[in-house]
Amino acid sequence: MSPTTSVSSIRRSVALVWRSLRSMRTALVLLLLVGLGAVVGSLVPQVGVADARIAQIFRDHPLRARIYDQLGLFDVYGSWWFTILYSLLLVSLVACILPRTRALVRNLLARPAPARDLASMRHYAEVAVGIPPDRAIAHARRVLRRKRFRVSRPNGATALAADKGLAREAGSLVFHWAFLLLLVGVVWGKGTGFSGQAVIVEGETWTEAHASYDGQIREGRFFGEDHSGVQVHVEDFQATYRPTGQPADFVTRATLLDEQGGVLQPVEIRVNHPAEADGVRFYQFGYGWAPVIRVEHDGEPIFDGPVVCQQGDAPEGVSPLQVPWRCVVKLPSLRPQIGIRFELWPDSRGLLSLLETGRAMPMLVAYAPVMTWEAYEGDLRAELVQSVSALDTSAMRKIGSGALGAGETVDLGRGVRVSFRELRQYTVLTVARDRGMWIVLVAAILILLGLLPALYGSRRRVWVSAEAEGPGTVVKVGGFALQRGSRFEEEFSRLVRDLGAVLREGSRDARERVGA
């Protein structure tokens, strides 16, 4: 085989692939496959949405989990096959709309093309009038223009070609291009942005930087490490509840500061009302309790500050507001090391009702808070990766337990004294930056704007010719609609009626002038 034939055969196969991508059928199948992929994603638990359930599948059905994992079923929307599918859809989309856009532009620039055989058209009518063809055409032109047709008159002919409704095709193209723009906005915005969670205790200041998130952050593929450095100083957090225990509102009152600590603005961040600084947005996400604990060893403070407590798991049928919050204080500097596990009852009436009736009342506000504690000594096994809120007691021994009210101090022995100084709240904010959001919004609006003419518009074409017949003229009108044929029938007859009226009036004027 000579190199030229192999080149031309490659070219032929590329042309073939391109042609099949250009076909609407391919685009349609790809579109439905993308939908099918999304369905799979909604049935199989997804990374970042249902991590706990994925872990459970890995525990209970390791083989199935591995197969799923290999196929990317736990992360459908980021999997190789979903990427291939939507990339192919994009290419097919471009292949479909590029020639159509060229054709539309050509069509917009060109004048409506003349036609010959009007009588064989779907809609056809004749009007006989008493004015010369030239004048009749001039009248017809005015009528069509008034009805907002594009009208052209071929050189030297007493005929018109008119069309209307290019907005349909234009709308359809706007819709499809905007769909592409939307995807570009999504990919760029997510790729260059980030989204994380900030845990901030009342009275503390948090700086927007990678390390501040404690790993609770997802950064985009093209993220340039350009965190804003904006600071958030939380004055207080307020959760209000209705008498039924249903949450009514969550508000974080805070001050936003710039990198240098200059005050930007005081804000109230609540659900549905995020705050923004330097393109970074702060959303109310959650909250919790943070007791301020001070530990002294031989009179020297070795720990002093708020401890973030996690909401305990509520058993079936019990509200999370009825269970105590859990937190841990680790004292690695002591020999032997000491770890204390706390269970916080922000409202001590919750604990009392549990002891009295076996059922805790929901704890909505702080009321004489109390913590039960269990202290252990031994090896904290800090060399193992573990969460700050978990205490590994496998190499430890229990040295005591008890209850501790706010403002109280307990002596653990060994010179260690633990004080529960006060109870604060912490707020959890979702912190995110997505610069592509505005592109996505504009694209979405364009999609909607394009959709309306694309669905409801229709392309209509009309031709008029005037021929002298005896003393007068026969005006022939022909036309058809490419869509919504039944509606055009009415429009066409109205057009002919109006045309007839104008022409007859024109010929009456002409007669009167001749008579005068």
Residue 103 binds another protein, judged by CB under 8 A? no
* Burial grade of 289 (CB within 10 A; 0-12, 13-18, 19 or more): buried
By beta-carbon proximity to another protein, the closer residue of 164 and 281 is 281
Residue 263 binds another protein, judged by CB under 8 A? no
User: Binding residue for another protein (CB under 8 A) from 371, 432, 466, 481?
Assistant: 432
**Residue 404 tokens, joined:** 């501790």
* Burial grade of 431 (CB within 10 A; 0-12, 13-18, 19 or more): buried
By beta-carbon proximity to another protein, the closer residue of 239 and 368 is 239
**345 and 351 Cβ atoms separated by less than 8 Å:** yes
Closest distance to another protein from the beta carbon of 469 (Å): 40
Residue 108 binds another protein, judged by CB under 8 A? no
Measured between alpha carbons, how far is residue 175 from residues 28, 98, 102, 164, 459 in Å? 16, 13, 16, 20, 17
Closest distance to another protein from the beta carbon of 152 (Å): 28
Measured between alpha carbons, how far is residue 157 from residues 133, 161, 188 in Å? 10, 11, 55
Residue 156 binds another protein, judged by CB under 8 A? no
Q: Which residue has the tokens 């770890």?
A: 339
In 3D space, the residue among 465, 446, 466, 443 whose CA is nearest the CA of residue 454 turns out to be 446
Map the footprint of another protein across residues 303-342, applying CB under 8 A: none
Residue 456 binds another protein, judged by CB under 8 A? yes
Phi, psi of 420 (to 5 degrees): -100, 100
Task: Choose the stretch contacting another protein; rule: CB under 8 A; options: 1-9, 411-419, 440-448, 488-496.
Answer: 440-448
Map the footprint of another protein across residues 161-190, applying CB under 8 A: 186
Residue 206 binds another protein, judged by CB under 8 A? no
Distance between CA 516 and CA 506 in Å, rounded? 15
User: Binding residue for another protein (CB under 8 A) from 242, 397, 487, 508?
Assistant: 242
User: Binding residue for another protein (CB under 8 A) from 38, 98, 119, 314?
Assistant: 38
Chain centroid to Cα 209, Å, comes to 24
Give the bridge partners for 209, in sequence order.
Answer: none
Residue 283 binds another protein, judged by CB under 8 A? yes
Closest distance to another protein from the beta carbon of 490 (Å): 15
Distance between CA 231 and CA 250 in Å, rounded? 21
Give SS3 for 502: helix
Q: Which residue has the tokens 């704007």?
A: 449
Residue 274 binds another protein, judged by CB under 8 A? yes
Residue 84 binds another protein, judged by CB under 8 A? no
User: Binding residue for another protein (CB under 8 A) from 17, 49, 318, 382?
Assistant: 49
Task: Choose the stretch contacting another protein; rule: CB under 8 A; options: 114-122, 124-132, 278-286, 497-505.
Answer: 278-286
H/E stretch holding 442 reads helix 437-456
Residue 23 DSSP label: S
Q: Where does this chain bind another protein (CB under 8 A)?
A: 24-25, 27-28, 31-32, 34-35, 38-39, 41-43, 46, 49-50, 77, 186, 195, 242, 244, 246-250, 270-274, 281, 283, 285, 430, 432, 434, 437, 440-441, 444-445, 447-448, 451-452, 455-456
